[in-house]
Structure 1
């Protein structure tokens, strides 16, 4: 941890970088008003269109659903868009590695049940995730440690009519979105 006192929105003190990707960086931070640990996702304002703004808007539409992280604040700080949200536990991939790359049948069934419910909920609210992968599925923390959370929804879109989607794919109007490793052969 650095001795620098970096604060966002005069409220969140950066503590530790948790990870990042092509669209932003995620940090652990402390809410200095409440003392709670939170996660902060930062995206440079040069990214246009903003993936983080889309992510924030989707989370707002999905708010209150089981396995959807709570959003505490969204705004801009210097040259970054920032979203403060619920700090969660390890990703599904890390959990799998921790378990010696073997899950019991009971664990697999519990995960499958939760993940199906998360996707059904998202779809019922009119959104497709478009980047489902183990790194974007996080376990909860503390008393919610056995709950799977769906994260990193910034590449998500509002659902389209199935016929329109199929026609666009056949005509080559759609390109691959998400992570190639987890894409369908059709994509």
Structure 2
């Protein structure tokens, strides 16, 4: 007969019983601070009991987290750097104000329902959700740098091998999302977070005004023009996974050159930049384009495509081929994330990288590692690009 005598809970018991993710495992000795006891654990908890036990430990409670620094503030939310008393790990706390008249809470809740099911090494992890009368606080793993900041730190010249690793991780995270019919729709360097290991993680899945995964700044800007594909700029509402692949191509170019590829300030100017490099579309290259009223209204000159290597001399032939497959004017012609991961450009990374479990970092492989960056003096962007980047980020 089972002995139901109470005994102290060990951290091993709790981690096993509650099925905590590896990155939020409770530190040894933490439970000594708590007056918790329990019968021996021989089965996982039911969902209801698991919620109760998580609450007892401190999940879902504001007092579990200490605010350290404010990272950014927007229309609906304030984001803080914080620390978890449970794990002593740094976290990002996004505090959404519920009293706002518009629909931030419902969009945030919708995104939370999506994000809680996205478990991948290249997607920022949502750790906890805290609901009070006045706020909804989302607790995420903390990464202290985004790709734009990484570029700045390298003097806008990232090591070419490291670019390959960052691009592969971006594609890996996107492929996971796309297999689950999830579109990011707002890819830009500020939404790609990087930790000290070189792990790159997709952040900010806010498709409308409210944004769920913390990045450095916030605004109610829907989508950044610089990374928006021409089909969407011309009014298409037929979103598919190819909307994200255009943004990947733009980010790839920016990592290689240190500057944005198409830094337009209006839709008309954005399309002009695109056509000037990739060529003005014709009925042959983009069937149906001459029937598009917006395209006809702009009356663009007839541009012929330029070789992308003319604008990005550091690109090798494999990289140039991949970026050309990403930057197809017509959405259906763009390469998929899954196909791109198998492109010849990544061949030197080997076969094992394609067989990793979703939640395993590519850096778990001994043959994969970042190379040292040469710390150059930052090359300042032209003033017109600086001002546009600022308005694009801050709204």
Query: Does TM, scored on the shorter chain, surpass 0.5?
Result: yes
- CA-to-partner distance for each residue in 1:84-103, whole Å, 9 max, x for gaps? 11111300000000000011
The answer as to whether partners of 1:42 and 1:83 remain within 8 angstroms in 2 is yes
Aligned partner of residue 28 in structure 1, secondary structure = strand
- CA-to-partner distance for each residue in 1:128-175, whole Å, 9 max, x for gaps? 01111111100024xxx211000111228xxxxxxxxxxxxxxxxxxx
Are 1:53 and 2:109 counterparts? yes
Aligned partner of residue 68 in structure 1, secondary structure = coil
- 2:63 matched to which residue of 1? 10
120, 133, 155: which one aligns with 2:175? 120
Structure 2 unaligned blocks of 5 or more: 1-60, 209-220, 233-395
Supply the distance in 1 between the matched residues of 2:132 and 2:80 (Cα, whole angstroms). Answer: 14
Are 1:154 and 2:206 counterparts? yes
Say what the alpha-carbon RMSD is for the aligned residues. Answer: 2.1
The answer as to whether partners of 2:151 and 2:158 remain within 8 angstroms in 1 is yes
Supply the distance in 1 between the matched residues of 2:202 and 2:157 (Cα, whole angstroms). Answer: 21
- 2:95 matched to which residue of 1? 42
Task: Decide which structure has the larger Cα Rg and report it.
Answer: 2
- CA-to-partner distance for each residue in 1:32-75, whole Å, 9 max, x for gaps? 23322211011111241433223322221212x11122222112
1:80 Cα deviation (Å)?
A: 1.5
The answer as to whether partners of 2:82 and 2:92 remain within 8 angstroms in 1 is yes
Aligned partner of residue 43 in structure 1, secondary structure = strand
Are 1:101 and 2:175 counterparts? no
The answer as to whether partners of 2:76 and 2:104 remain within 8 angstroms in 1 is no
Supply the distance in 1 between the matched residues of 2:70 and 2:145 (Cα, whole angstroms). Answer: 14
The answer as to whether partners of 2:122 and 2:172 remain within 8 angstroms in 1 is no
Aligned partner of residue 17 in structure 1, secondary structure = strand
Supply the distance in 1 between the matched residues of 2:161 and 2:82 (Cα, whole angstroms). Answer: 34
Under a length normalisation based on structure 1, what TM-score does the superposition of the two structures give? 0.75
The answer as to whether partners of 1:58 and 1:153 remain within 8 angstroms in 2 is no
Runs of 4+ in 1 over 4 A off after TM superposition: none
Say how many residue pairs are matched: 157
